[in-house]
Structure 1
Amino acid sequence: MAEEVVLFGVWASPFSQRVKTTLTLKGVQFKYIEEDLNNKSASLLQYNPVNKNIPVLVHNGKPIVESLVILEYIDETWEEYPLLPRDPHKKANAHFWAKFIDEKFLPGMRKACWGEENEREKAVEEASELLQLLENNLAEKRFFGGETQFGMVDIVANVIGLWLGAFEEGSGVELVTRDKFPKLCNWIDEFVSSSITKESLPPRDELTLFLRKRFGSANHVSK
């Protein structure tokens, strides 16, 4: 009997797209269902009654929610193309940086680009400090996951690979330049041009327009 894998998501959500990227990397066949968060489907509410948000992965009828949890579930369920190292310390380090991106960098990026105008200068400075930590973490590596392939942190860092540029363009705030962050810029170039990630990323111009409209009124970002 064939496995049934269904992903509920939103095209402009980095959290949805990181799950799509991971399933694609693993060669997992899945059905994608686009959600309207202003008119959530009965299925989404059934599978995620707690926070009623995307992404939701349904595997053989059983739901898994929250993107970082979903990524780890996928990695443990399908062995092809492992995202996390086996070494416990390296695995813990990957979890740390994945959470750093979601809990520290993403809010900082949003505040720098679309926060209160009188707090913008300080927010940009703080976001730059977070970017410097990520630049330092890359060190001489090609990817956050090492030299040979994307890993968990690279997938989670899609918010830097595409969404950061769309945030910058949409808001007119510049955070990343090659002079300040050469390693991150090299990583971004490779991330957006890779055949591995390209099919999971939304068009940049459409994403920028979406973000301009959204952040005029919305403040919640799903995980």
Structure 2
Amino acid sequence: MAEVKLFGVWASAFSKRIEMALKLKGVEYEFIEEDLKNKSPLLLKYNPVHKKIPVLVHNGKPIAESLVILEYIDETWEGPAILPKDPHERAQAHFWAKFLDEKCLPAILKACKSTGEEREKAKEEVIELLGFLDNEIKGKKFFGGDNIGLVDIAGNFIGYWLGIITKLVGIEIVTEERFPNFCRWINEYNNCSFVKENLPPKDKLIAFLKPRFEVLNTSK
């Protein structure tokens, strides 16, 4: 019986964050694929508040919410650091990770799921938000500096899923003209061997996302 279990979904950026962190630390784990339309009794038991994935179970004790899990992994296992030791740098990493989840992701999904004038307004908001990230990554290889860190792991959605989803719904947001530094990071990120090993196959992900997003393209 595995000491570490991860309840997740293969196509979820939030689940992949946790897998990336566990592999970075060299932690062996059991991945339990969830059906979000028919959630397992164990998932509901381990995360009764949100009833969402991912949930990490370590020695029978559950931890929910991906950013919380990432910090737990960093503090529990030795290996490459996910969070910096310097208090200010650590606080900044937390700030930008929360910025991704609380600002960028909702705005991106709104832009992709809305239509007409509402879509254009949401798109402009996304462009403004990504501008902050473009400025933050300027002069750095990764958000974590020379190595992958918390913000890079939490940024897997904007680094990989975003390009696929915007193409499916037929909107253009990320261009080199708008975001030269951010685009360089995306290229660096997706060509990093460790990152590539921990992302779902593009063709398989497109097939999974297509029925969920492409229909919106016909009504924009």
CA distance in 2, matches of 1:3, 1:44: 16
Structure-to-structure mapping, 1:4-153, within 5 angstroms: 4-146=3-145, 148-153=146-151
Q: TM-score, normalised by structure 1?
A: 0.92
State the distance in 1 between where 2:134 and 2:96 align: 12
- Larger displacement relative to structure 2 (128-137 or 202-211): 202-211
The worse-fitting range, judged by mean Cα deviation, of 62-71 and 174-183 is 174-183
For residues 150 and 49 of structure 1, do their structure 2 counterparts lie closer, same or farther at Cα, with a shift above 3 Å needed? same
Q: Residues of 1 paired with 2:3 and 2:115: CA distance?
A: 45
Question: Do the aligned partners of 1:170 and 1:209 also contact (CA within 8 Å) in 2?
Answer: no
Distance in 2 of aligned mates of 1:118 and 1:179: 24
Q: How much does 1:54 deviate?
A: 0.3
1:41 Cα offset (Å)? 1.1
Q: Percent identity, please.
A: 59
1:64-93 superposed Cα distances (whole Å, 9 cap, x missing partner): 000000000000001210111111111111
Equivalents in 2 of 1:152, 1:51: separation in Å?
23
Q: Which stretches of structure 1, 4 residues or more, deviate above 6 A after TM superposition?
A: none
Which residue does the alignment assign to 2:167? 169
Partner of 2:218: none
Which 10-residue stretch deviates more, 89-98 or 183-192? 183-192
Query: Cα 1:203–1:3, aligned 2, differ >3 Å: closer, same or farther?
Result: closer
Indicate if the aligned counterparts of 2:165 and 2:213 stay in contact, CA closer than 8 A: no
Sort the Cα spacing of 1:3 and 1:42 in 2 relative to 1 into closer, same or farther, 3 A: closer
Letter in 1 for 2:189: F
Number of residue pairs matched by the alignment: 215
Offset of residue 106 of structure 1: 0.6
Superposition CA RMSD, Å: 1.6
Question: TM-score under structure 2 normalisation?
Answer: 0.93
Structure 2 runs not aligned, ≥5 long: 216-220
8 Å contact from structure 1 (residues 169, 208) kept in 2: no
Contact 2:134-2:179 at 8 Å conserved across structures: yes
What is the CA distance between 1:205 and its match in structure 2?
2.8
Rounded to whole Å, the distance in 2 between the matches of 1:160 and 1:39 is: 28
- Displacement of 1:151 after TM fit? 0.5
Query: Counterpart of 2:128 in structure 1: which amino acid?
Result: E
1:221 corresponds to which residue?
Answer: none
Residues in 2 aligned to 1:27 and 1:64: alpha-carbon distance in whole angstroms: 19
Find the aligned partners of 1:205 and 1:172 in 2 and give their Cα distance.
18
**Aligned with residue 191 of structure 1, among 182, 189, 193:** 189
**1:212 CA displacement:** 3.2
Contact 1:135 1:183 in 2 (8 A): yes
**DSSP-derived class of the 1:32 partner:** strand
The answer (yes or no) to whether the contact 1:54–1:65 under 8 Å persists in 2 is yes
